[in-house]
Structure 1
């Protein structure tokens, strides 16, 4: 799972929600691209990963996209090398490859898929949306229940592309090799280098160097996807991805908060208001009977960019009467009392804990539709992630036993043992290295055929839709090569049938090279997850 646990709606910077014309507009004030794109702090990859000793395969059949086909499932160990070229860690790849005429293989796309963290395996995307099998349900309860059934995933895109899931070093069955430093790949660039080695090995061994390559990364994995595009472009042999699919993107994230006290940023407050309105609509804090979700978001957006922005920029120079009027309007738009807005200088300091405080509830860590008791709430950094992912871990174990009949592997890690401690040891980009969003701009310019697909759940409380819209407005990704889509979900935007099917339909269109039609703004039923009515706590 994505362990960007410290991120809350407070660090989301926006909501130019569902306005592609604004999101994709060119920003004349953006800094000019460097003549030569930036490079990794690690040496360029010149050799693929080594083959590991453990390799398992099986042949199965299924129906995908309405087509019946046979496919080969392969679990392979690979050994990735450190800066000096010495094998330092094992990691495992699970591939699903359709049984087609090998003469056609070079024309068939390959999607390399992974989740984030850092410190997460790839089984969230595998059993949530992309694999040939999935968990029957995918809400918080189902993910954490080892008895959640696994069912066929007929919406998977295996009929048009082969699927390769990569577990990051120290996750899945992968472990550091004896004598190596366990922290070798705990950095943005080291992690990307390891994945690039694996991708080159898989393409080489399977005779697929000519295949269209797509890279799908979720949450922190979106950062990895961008860095992989950079590193594969200068690797030997060279690979230029046909496209990147960024799921619940987190390009702006660059490590845990420093703890420094700084002045409040009006832009953050202004641009997060439509996100708050969306959550308020879902939970019935505002009218969700005669007003649609989109109408609630639009109303908040209009107010945010006008009166709200003006008063926040004025700060303590704004007349009290105007501040009171703005607080009343904020209460109407969000259902949060005007007194709460006034007490916080017209901001919410902890949205997840403040929005439903009147019901003694807090919003979920990854999906704002999920709720938990406010009293005694566990800090995100102290959550039991192993228990939270018990259902996913059990499903992966079932795959190992029933499909691959693999014995002697270590316990599967859906995440590293202690995600908070792991992230503290991670090296994020540091100056003068550019941020990931700048690297994306560079690579889009350096590879004029590479396309971009950005997907977002409208109730995401970890990497919010507002942040996505704002960031891509600043990146100014080429409009003719970039598509955006929003779904009625949270951080795992495919967590229920409607969102999963819409997401996979859009992935299918994107991989097929077709123009992705503009998806209407989501229109979910309020107060429900997966068609089930939520308890309100009132």
Structure 2
């Protein structure tokens, strides 16, 4: 669900997330193959109003008041068509049969403030992650002009759900384009080998790069200040897209905003035991374990101030804890016992459990064990949430309580909003109906291989896109980066992001281009209303500082 950051070995949580809504509408390759030429294919699709592999759009108007500022806007819901690497739009028929060409229609919703020249108005491209997630979460939870009201850290009651005017929309400072990944939303894939063409780290980034360049041309926004805002796997994507835009399209960005970062998958706490000798994930996750134990009052004594407490934990994590883990089985018994006791004091986990884990507890084990006496698991993406364990005796949770608490509210609200307000997806009850797909269900076939820039022979099994973001910053030294993180995120622990930002392969002179903010929330920082206000203010200030416009 929600920018699901898929990780090897955690298919239980991911499968739940990806299964929120069944995929019942998918245009098959065989349907395309029945047509003799490209013109006929387009004609066939155009005659079926339910879907078409041609750009679509519906235009509506609205207004919202944000922090006392009235913003009248034009909303455009539609699709743009992208192709995989090697596609030649001048002569596609020379490469393969037109009906077999892999193609993706990518759905988007754009909001343009009325009456402002393009060069005087920033534009921000916003997307969730997954990989293979739609962007309904950021759209309806964070920055769109309408926002879904949900419970803070508990399960939101079933329908009816309430949409409200969003006082924290970023429309006060920037136009917004919410982009759904290929195969999600109201977009679809077609052609031969369509999944292979788009379901991978590099093909996905290329699709987003082409989409953004195409959007800038279609709506005459090439001279607008440009920003990216990606969440979770969307941060992985952003690092690649920022560099691809510069290198392949000669498009410089003003800024990149990252929410709940994962740039190097070697640092994930989901299943680090599959990579023995790599102890960094345990070190970087420890502060988030401590924050979660603090939230659920599992510490004794209870620290009064969380940020101050976490500074202490960070110091221990990078000091004594790192030293102990690096010694492995050579660690003296007395030191082993001392570290176990210290970990108990910071995490609330039983000392015996920590010892049996050899001082190394992964994310799923922590989520299962912290509240285990109550037969409850904490959330992964937001550990403030908790839910009854499906199997109290399992080693890791079977689902993410945060996902089940929020999924129905977001999807129900957006499906209603799309049809009644944006008039997209089958608003006419007598006409054709389109299903909005929150997920491409692509995790099991996703290729995580990534070719790093300036290293053409590098094909890593898991992505490390630190070189991509570094190259984007080095070739565009004015590019600014903002990292936003929730303390209670066990999917992308906040200290992991801090570590990655300080280990970008950039000159020390560029380190000042990076700013970092933390919030009293989880992966989806915006689900906690006070944190959303802070997130808006930090993002808005970042855009104003870096849009190169007079203020």
| TM exceeding 0.5 | yes
Matched, 1:493 2:525: yes
Q: Retained in 1: the 8 A contact 2:284–2:493? A: no
Q: Matched residues in 1 for 2:526 and 2:485: separation?
A: 10
Partner of 2:421: 403
Partner of 1:6: 7
Matched, 1:313 2:315: no
1:5 Cα deviation from its structure 2 partner = 4.3
Task: Provide the aligned length of Structure 1 versus Structure 2.
Answer: 469
Q: Secondary structure at the match of 1:389?
A: helix
Q: Retained in 1: the 8 A contact 2:154–2:385? A: no
CA gap of 1:7–1:299, structure 2 versus 1, over 3 A, is farther
Partner of 2:80: 78
Q: Secondary structure at the match of 2:197?
A: coil
CA gap of 1:332–1:387, structure 2 versus 1, over 3 A, is closer
Q: Which structure dedicates a bigger proportion of its chain to helix?
A: 2
Q: Matched residues in 1 for 2:131 and 2:484: separation?
A: 19
Deviating more after overlay: 392-401 vs 303-312: 303-312
CA gap of 1:215–1:409, structure 2 versus 1, over 3 A, is farther
Q: Matched residues in 1 for 2:415 and 2:546: separation?
A: 37
Q: Matched residues in 1 for 2:207 and 2:157: separation?
A: 29
Taking the TM superposition and a 5 Å limit, the aligned residue runs for 1:35-50 are none
Partner of 2:541: 509
Matched, 1:245 2:230: no
Partner of 2:290: 277
Q: What is the CA deviation profile of residues 83-102 of structure 1, one whole-angstrom value per residue up to 9, with x for unaligned ones?
A: 3235612121100101024x
1:107 Cα deviation from its structure 2 partner = 1.9
Q: Matched residues in 2 for 1:382 and 1:514: separation?
A: 40
Matched, 1:425 2:417: no
Q: Retained in 1: the 8 A contact 2:83–2:102? A: yes
Task: Determine which of 367, 371, 381 is the counterpart of 2:386.
Answer: 371
CA gap of 1:301–1:55, structure 2 versus 1, over 3 A, is closer
Q: Matched residues in 2 for 1:243 and 1:122: separation?
A: 20
1:174 Cα deviation from its structure 2 partner = 0.6
Point out where structure 1 has 5 or more consecutive residues left out of the alignment. Answer: 10-49, 516-538
Q: Matched residues in 2 for 1:461 and 1:358: separation?
A: 20
Q: What is the CA deviation profile of residues 461-485 of structure 1, one whole-angstrom value per residue up to 9, with x for unaligned ones?
A: 1011021111112116522211110
Q: Retained in 1: the 8 A contact 2:267–2:496? A: no
1:508 Cα deviation from its structure 2 partner = 0.4
1:249 Cα deviation from its structure 2 partner = 1.1
CA gap of 1:436–1:214, structure 2 versus 1, over 3 A, is same
Partner of 1:26: none
Partner of 1:299: 312
1:427 Cα deviation from its structure 2 partner = 4.0
Q: Retained in 1: the 8 A contact 2:55–2:81? A: no
Point out where structure 2 has 5 or more consecutive residues left out of the alignment. Answer: 11-51, 89-100, 427-431, 452-456
Partner of 2:208: 195
1:197 Cα deviation from its structure 2 partner = 1.9
Q: Secondary structure at the match of 1:91?
A: strand
Q: Retained in 2: the 8 A contact 1:88–1:180? A: no
| RMSD between aligned residues | 3.0
Q: What is the CA deviation profile of residues 133-175 of structure 1, one whole-angstrom value per residue up to 9, with x for unaligned ones?
A: 1111265766784532111102212122100011111000111
Q: Matched residues in 2 for 1:291 and 1:494: separation?
A: 24
Q: Matched residues in 1 for 2:522 and 2:244: separation?
A: 30
Deviating more after overlay: 87-96 vs 462-471: 87-96
Q: Secondary structure at the match of 1:183?
A: helix
Partner of 2:39: none
CA gap of 1:167–1:142, structure 2 versus 1, over 3 A, is farther
Q: Retained in 2: the 8 A contact 1:222–1:246? A: yes
Q: Matched residues in 1 for 2:256 and 2:459: separation?
A: 22
1:409 Cα deviation from its structure 2 partner = 4.9
TM-score, normalised by the number of residues in structure 2 = 0.78
Partner of 2:377: 362
Q: What is the CA deviation profile of residues 428-455 of structure 1, one whole-angstrom value per residue up to 9, with x for unaligned ones?
A: 3165157311111111001112111111
CA gap of 1:357–1:71, structure 2 versus 1, over 3 A, is same
CA gap of 1:109–1:342, structure 2 versus 1, over 3 A, is same
Q: Secondary structure at the match of 1:324?
A: helix
Task: Determine which of 333, 336, 361 is the counterpart of 1:348.
Answer: 361
1:397 Cα deviation from its structure 2 partner = 1.3
Partner of 2:339: 326
Q: Retained in 1: the 8 A contact 2:142–2:169? A: yes
Taking the TM superposition and a 5 Å limit, the aligned residue runs for 1:175-194 are 175-177=188-190, 181-194=194-207
Q: What is the CA deviation profile of residues 36-66 of structure 1, one whole-angstrom value per residue up to 9, with x for unaligned ones?
A: xxxxxxxxxxxxxx99353101111121232
Q: Retained in 1: the 8 A contact 2:377–2:397? A: no
Q: Retained in 2: the 8 A contact 1:392–1:414? A: no
Q: Matched residues in 1 for 2:298 and 2:215: separation?
A: 51
1:80 Cα deviation from its structure 2 partner = 1.0
CA gap of 1:346–1:412, structure 2 versus 1, over 3 A, is same
Indicate the structure whose relative CO is greater, using CA pairs within 8 Å and at least 6 residues apart.
Answer: 1
CA gap of 1:447–1:464, structure 2 versus 1, over 3 A, is same
1:248 Cα deviation from its structure 2 partner = 0.5
CA gap of 1:441–1:73, structure 2 versus 1, over 3 A, is same
Matched, 1:153 2:171: no
Q: What is the CA deviation profile of residues 482-508 of structure 1, one whole-angstrom value per residue up to 9, with x for unaligned ones?
A: 111001111101111111000000010
Q: Retained in 2: the 8 A contact 1:6–1:381? A: no
Task: Determine which of 109, 124, 134 is the counterpart of 1:94.
Answer: 109
Q: Retained in 1: the 8 A contact 2:254–2:546? A: no
Matched, 1:457 2:486: yes
